């Protein structure tokens, strides 16, 4: 019976006329009601228009049965900083299937088609926020970043912070805010370059009481910002970004100035370092959970932009890549290092071989897990010498990714 249903389905791109169906399947899949949206300040016409920019600016494809949408997936064309190189990236979102079409392999088909489109558009890496780690791991994505949450009591906040600059509250569309994040993203490994579409998503679900504060240095140059909400005696930090330690101290001093208004500060941290270590009283609660997943779409294209941390070696490494979804990755690639020169791909295999699945390779090259650890837990096969080479050529840095799209 399932095979008969599949024969009646057509895979095609969603158009503007499909907007109502696009919204309906998302609302059904994620159980978002009008009542819930109205409670956080949305109006009925805003609800109807909420996701229309995706159809205009993203690649959205779906399976249809007699013009009725059965399943869909959306890909935002975005950019991300990886070790100083700005990569074209496909961000997957809007993944949904109606329950009566489950078990037909529809999502597998949509993922494969989306990855093929990314490949054609030179988007050699893909990111997503997973609703199912096993599903996406099976398709080649792997966890590459964490989200930390901290809880700080009012008496633990820093006292008497002396910085030369000052903090000013600004509007959400402040040019200084946009320029500051862009500068931060272009110097921060793993950070998303926010275009107009991403900023729209950034503010989409926030209530009107969210405040933006920017720290300005003595030359009135913006050096850091804070996006926050004060509610029920709790100071909620949505995001804190700073270009240097002066700005970090200035922003925490600004938070501490609210001590008489709050009992606790709760926030999210994406830089993979604990907040508690920065405070005199570190006895605070911090939690950690996996956040963003990524997968290399085109290894050769990814390699052409990748910055290895050490090129002062005369070695070569053969990556025997396992990619069960994308055949152009599912083969061996040999990277040759000539001291002081740019590494190149060559045809000759090396005695230094690494056998690895595409998701684990992505995780390793982005710095989330080190080669030694991955070998220890049997997620890659390589000799001790080869692992030592990998340790020397892959930067020891974790990605910063704070966006939820």
> In the chain, which residues have pLDDT < 70?
1-3, 31-54, 205, 207-208
pLDDT confidence of residue 42: 39
Distant-in-sequence, close-in-space partners of 260: CB < 8 Å, separation ≥ 6: none
Q: Are 251 and 180 in a shared domain? A: yes
Q: Are 280 and 359 in a shared domain? A: no
pLDDT confidence of residue 28: 84
pLDDT confidence of residue 54: 67
Neighbours of 153 (CB within 10 A): 14
Q: For residue 192, give Cα distances in angstroms to 33, 78, 128, 189.
A: 30, 8, 12, 9
Neighbours of 313 (CB within 10 A): 16
Q: Are 115 and 153 in a shared domain? A: no
277 within some domain: yes
Distant-in-sequence, close-in-space partners of 211: CB < 8 Å, separation ≥ 6: 169, 227, 228, 229, 230
Neighbours of 371 (CB within 10 A): 23
Check: CB of residue 328 under 8 Å from CB of residue 116: no
pLDDT confidence of residue 2: 63
Q: How far is CA 72 from the centre of its chain?
A: 21
255 within some domain: yes
Q: Are 323 and 190 in a shared domain? A: no
Domain boundary among 289, 320, 344: 289
State the residue range of the domain holding 153. 148-289
Q: Compute the Cα dihedral for 114, 115, 121, 126 and give only its sign.
A: positive
Domain boundary among 247, 271, 289: 289
Q: Are 268 and 315 in a shared domain? A: no
Q: Are 256 and 164 in a shared domain? A: yes
131 within some domain: no
Domain CATH code at residue 346: 3.30.1050.10
The domain tally of the chain equals 3
As to burial, measured by CB atoms within 10 angstroms (0-12 exposed, 13-18 middle, 19+ buried), residue 80 is buried
Q: Are 283 and 303 in a shared domain? A: no
pLDDT confidence of residue 45: 47
134 within some domain: no
Note the pTM of the prediction, 2 decimals. Answer: 0.91
315 within some domain: yes
Chain segment 22-55, per-residue pLDDT in tens: 888 988 877 654 554 444 443 444 444 455 566 7
Q: Are 270 and 351 in a shared domain? A: no
Q: Are 174 and 223 in a shared domain? A: yes
SS3 48: helix
Q: Are 313 and 201 in a shared domain? A: no
DSSP 47-95: HHHTTHHHHHHSEEEEEEETTEEEEEEEEEEEEEEETTEEEEEEEEEEE
Domain boundary among 235, 268, 289: 289
404 within some domain: no
| Pairing mode of beta strands 234-242, 264-269 | parallel
114 within some domain: yes
As to burial, measured by CB atoms within 10 angstroms (0-12 exposed, 13-18 middle, 19+ buried), residue 361 is buried
SS3 381: strand
Q: Are 330 and 209 in a shared domain? A: no
400 within some domain: no
Q: Are 375 and 306 in a shared domain? A: yes
At residue 50, φ and ψ (nearest 5 deg) are -55, -45
Q: What is the dihedral of CA 136, 141, 145, 150, to 10 degrees?
A: 0
Domain CATH code at residue 40: 3.40.630.30
pLDDT confidence of residue 177: 97
């Amino acid at each position: 019976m399932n095979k008969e249903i599949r024969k009646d389905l057509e895979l095609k791109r969603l158009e503007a006329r499909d907007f109502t169906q696009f919204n309906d399947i998302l609302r059904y899949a994620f159980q978002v009601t009008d009542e819930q949206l109205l409670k956080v300040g949305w109006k009925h016409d805003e609800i109807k228009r909420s996701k229309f920019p995706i159809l205009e600016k993203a690649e959205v494809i779906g399976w249809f049965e007699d013009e009725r949408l059965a399943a869909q997936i959306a890909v935002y064309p975005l950019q991300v900083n990886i070790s100083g190189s700005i990569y074209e990236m496909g961000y997957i979102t809007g993944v949904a299937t109606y329950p009566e079409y489950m078990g037909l392999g529809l999502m597998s088909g949509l993922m494969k088609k989306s990855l093929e489109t990314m490949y054609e558009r030179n988007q050699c890496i893909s990111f997503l926020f997973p609703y199912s780690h096993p599903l996406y791991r099976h398709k080649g994505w792997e966890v590459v970043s964490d989200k930390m949450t901290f809880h700080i009591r009012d008496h633990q906040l820093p006292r008497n912070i002396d910085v030369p600059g000052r903090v000013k509250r600004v509007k959400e569309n402040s040019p200084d805010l946009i320029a500051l994040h862009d500068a931060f993203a272009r110097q921060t490994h793993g950070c998303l370059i926010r275009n107009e579409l991403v900023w729209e998503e950034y503010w989409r679900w926030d209530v009107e009481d969210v405040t933006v504060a920017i720290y300005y240095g003595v030359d009135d140059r913006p050096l850091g910002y804070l996006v926050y909400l004060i509610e029920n005696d709790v100071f909620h930090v949505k995001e804190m970004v700073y270009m240097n330690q002066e700005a970090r101290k200035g922003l925490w001093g600004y938070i501490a100035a609210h001590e008489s208004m709050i009992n606790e500060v709760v926030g999210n941290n994406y830089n993979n370092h604990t907040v508690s270590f920065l405070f005199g009283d570190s006895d605070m609660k911090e939690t950690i959970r996996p956040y963003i997943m990524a997968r290399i779409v085109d290894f050769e294209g990814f390699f052409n932009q990748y910055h290895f941390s050490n090129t002062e070696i005369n070695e070569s490494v053969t990556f025997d890549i396992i990619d069960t979804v994308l055949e152009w990755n599912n083969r061996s690639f040999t990277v040759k290092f000539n001291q002081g020169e740019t590494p190149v791909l060559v045809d000759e295999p090396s005695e230094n071989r690494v056998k690895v699945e595409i998701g684990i390779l992505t995780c390793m090259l982005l710095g989330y897990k080190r080669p030694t650890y991955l070998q220890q837990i049997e997620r890659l096969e390589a000799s001790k010498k080869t692992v030592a080479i990998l340790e020397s050529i892959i930067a020891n840095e974790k990605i910063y990714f704070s966006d939820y799209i």
